[in-house]
Every structure is written in C-alpha cells, then in structure tokens.
Amino acid sequence: MKQFGMLTGFEFRKIWKQRSSWVTLGIMLLLVVFMSSSILMGSSSVTVQSGESFGEGGSPEESGDGREVSFSESNAQKIRIGRENGRSLSGRVMDDALWDEVRQYYESGVVQKYQYSIQEEERKEARRYEDVYRIFREFGILFRDEVREKTAAELYQGRKDYQAVFYREYGMSEGEQDYWEKQGEAIETPMVYEYSEGWRAFLSRDAYMIGMLVIFLTAICVTGIFTKEHSRKTDQLILCTRFGRKELYFAKICSGSLFSVICGFLFLGLSVLCNVLIYGPDGFGAPIQQAIAQYGLPFTMGAMVGITAMLLFFLSLLSGIAAMVLAEILKNGVATLAVLIGATLLIRMIPIPVSWRALSQLWGCLPPNLLYMENLFDLRLFSLFGVRLTFWQFAPGAYLLVSFLLVLLGKRVYCRYQVSGR
C-alpha cells in the first residue's frame, strides 16, 4: 500500500507539473468567475420627461418643465435593490396577510408610477414585493391573469395542480404520483419567505456550466497520463519495474480521478463564492419550492446545493476515468480530446422527447446533462427491484457502476498492450 501511494503521488505530481494543466485550469477558473459575475455587466438606459414617472400601461404624469432627462441603471444596481428588498421581507409568512398586502400594492399603481423613476429610492419602492410576487405567481401559474383573484391557500393548491401537469406530460404511473403526493405532505405551508437569489442562480445556471467545464478539463489534462507513455515509447520499461503493470495502472487511474474531483470542487467553490459576493449568502434554508415550484421533496436550497455537489463528485470521477480509458484505447491525446468534446456537444444538441421515457431519462443521466436543472428536478422516478429512486438517487449508483466497468476495460487494454503492443 505504501508503494501504491508513492506511485499515485508521483503520477499526481506529473499532472500538476504539466504546463497545459495550469494554463487550462487557470482559463477555466476565469471562465467560472466570468460566468457567475457576467450578470453584473451591462445597464439599461431610460429617457423620461423631467419630473415624470411612467410604466407599462400608464400614461406620463407630467410634473416638471418638459425637458427630457436620461438616466442609466446598471445591473449591479438592480441586483442590490433586489437584495435589499428581499432581505427586508425575509422571515415573513407567505399567508393571506402577506398576499393581500402584495395584491393591494400592485393594484395601487405604485409599480406603474415609479418603476422607471429617475430617483433610485422610488424605483426601489416599485420593486418592494417583486420576488414575493414572483413566487406567488409561479405557484398560481395555471391561473394566468386571474392569479390576483386567488387566496394564498388557492395558490398553494395551484402549485400542486401545476405539479400534476408534469404527471400527465411525463406519463407517470399512479405509483409515482402517490410517491410525490406522500412526499408533498411534508412540505410545510404556508411557507416562510427567504431571499435566496444567489442559490437560485447557482442551481439554475452555474451548476450546469461547471459540469461542462469539468468534462472539458479532463479531456485536456488527464489523457496524457497514458498517451505520453506510448508517444515517448517508454511503456515497455514498465515490464522491468518492481511493481509492474497493474499497480501502475491503478495509480494512474487514482491520480487522474483525484485531479478531476479536486478541479471540479475548485470550480464549485469559486462559483458559490462569486454568487455569495454578488447576491449574499441569504436563503440557504429557504424551501426549494421558492425556486422550483413544482418540485415535490421537502428540501431546502442548501440541501439541493449539497446534492448538486454530490453529483458533481460522481460526474468528475466518471469524466476523469472515461477520458483516461478512452486515451488508452485510442493511444492518441488529440483524438481523445476530439471524441470527448464532440460527444459532449452532440449530447447537448440532440433533444430526446419525454415520450421516449426510458431513453430520455438515461439521456438526462449522461455527464453533459447531469447537472442541468430540468434533469436535476425531474419528477420521473427510476424503479429498481420495486424501489423508487429520484434522478439524483439513481445517478450516483449508475456512475459508480459505469466507472468500475470502465476501469476494468482500461486495465485489460493497458495490460494486453504492454505484452503484445509491439
């Protein structure tokens, strides 16, 4: 075991000493920062009459001298206003009292009057209930324009009705529907509102891109673990070594997998840090339904972020192993890179209709699709020996099994090539 650790450490250091590893990792870390912070870029410019405020469906209320005045609002200002308004309402129970307050506020015309005001404080006032209103509207999405006529209790029931739409669209069995109905009983209503825009942005946008970056990183950095032996024609020296082929093979697999996992969590940590700095850490304990209305598990935002981190671990593990085994099969780093990136793009480009249930579920489990929000919160269940599993419960076991089979395949190819390769 001591010698295996030495071999693994040696191979691991070889990966980190490659200039390509540092350059690729640096570029991708910059991409993570850009991806998370790009929301801050840009601004919107509005021209109004001096002393005038107006909005959708409202006519100007002239109170100035008629001169045109332009003002610009940056996206950073919009986010700051949303954060301050959200924090001011955090902890409020989303019951009829709050819903009546929100309805009266929107019916008062404050939004139409001040949403394009030159004064920032007035624009902030026009968006006071923006996030709470978004959540209530998503609960009552089936009511369309009649949502303001409903009570809070009716909107919570509307959330369940919206969930039932997915049952029909996905062709889910009665057993699956019963599963979600039982799980839904544990969701406490009325909910307590918490501002959680940072975690919502991470789950809906950043997590998926992190998974893609991990795949590209492994395709570039870990394939050389095996291909360099063949290109430099040093592979036959292994036959003369003390520990031989098998030990070195597993050391290479472990070092490449460790590199992939470490880099994956570097991306994850950096993305979370950027979102916390932009939106704040608020809302880790908010119900996930405030971001994904139809989801039926009584989980918090933090729980789903933890599940995403778990899936990222298995994605990084499988991506590293797949890249190394494919490199050993093809004996060419460029060909391996082309196959992995081409397959990744192809998987993302080809849509599988939900009517092809088995294929579409398995398609969603492939590494490029694993952290995509629609798959992460898929209501369809996997049934194994009578046990019903959600998407995120099924994927880790499937990834471990595929990883194990790939390791065995790679070992066979590696060891046979050492004997009969020339």
| Distance of alpha carbon 155 from the chain centroid | 27
Question: Residue 84: is it exposed, middle or buried by C-beta count within 10 angstroms (0-12/13-18/19+)?
Answer: middle
Beta bridge partners of 74: 43
The pLDDT of 385-405, averaged and rounded, is 92
- Between 103 and 5, the higher pLDDT residue: 103
Is it the case that residue 50 has pLDDT exceeding 60? no
The pLDDT of 291-301, averaged and rounded, is 92
Per-chain mean pLDDT for the chain: 86
What pLDDT shows up at residue 14?
Answer: 84
Write out pLDDT tens, residues 316-359.
999 999 999 998 888 888 888 999 999 999 998 888 888 888 89
Helix, strand, coil abundance in the chain, percent, nearest 5: 70, 5, 25
* C-alpha to C-alpha distances, 235 to 224, 227, 388, 420, 422, nearest whole angstrom: 13, 10, 47, 12, 11
Count the neighbouring beta carbons within 10 Å of the beta carbon of residue 377: 21
* C-alpha to C-alpha distances, 258 to 251, 318, 369, nearest whole angstrom: 10, 11, 22
Write out pLDDT tens, residues 249-262.
888 899 999 999 99
- Write out the E strands in 215-330: none
Is it the case that residue 60 has pLDDT exceeding 50? no
* C-alpha to C-alpha distances, 18 to 8, 57, 246, 320, nearest whole angstrom: 16, 60, 24, 16
What pLDDT shows up at residue 203?
Answer: 92
* Percent of the chain topping pLDDT 70: 88
- Between 50 and 238, the higher pLDDT residue: 238
Range from 27-41, 200-214, 225-239, 376-390 carrying the lowest mean pLDDT:
225-239
What pLDDT shows up at residue 285?
Answer: 92
What pLDDT shows up at residue 3?
Answer: 73
Hey, what are 126's tokens? 């026009």
Range from 69-83, 289-303, 345-359 carrying the lowest mean pLDDT:
69-83
| Distance of alpha carbon 234 from the chain centroid | 42
What pLDDT shows up at residue 71?
Answer: 66
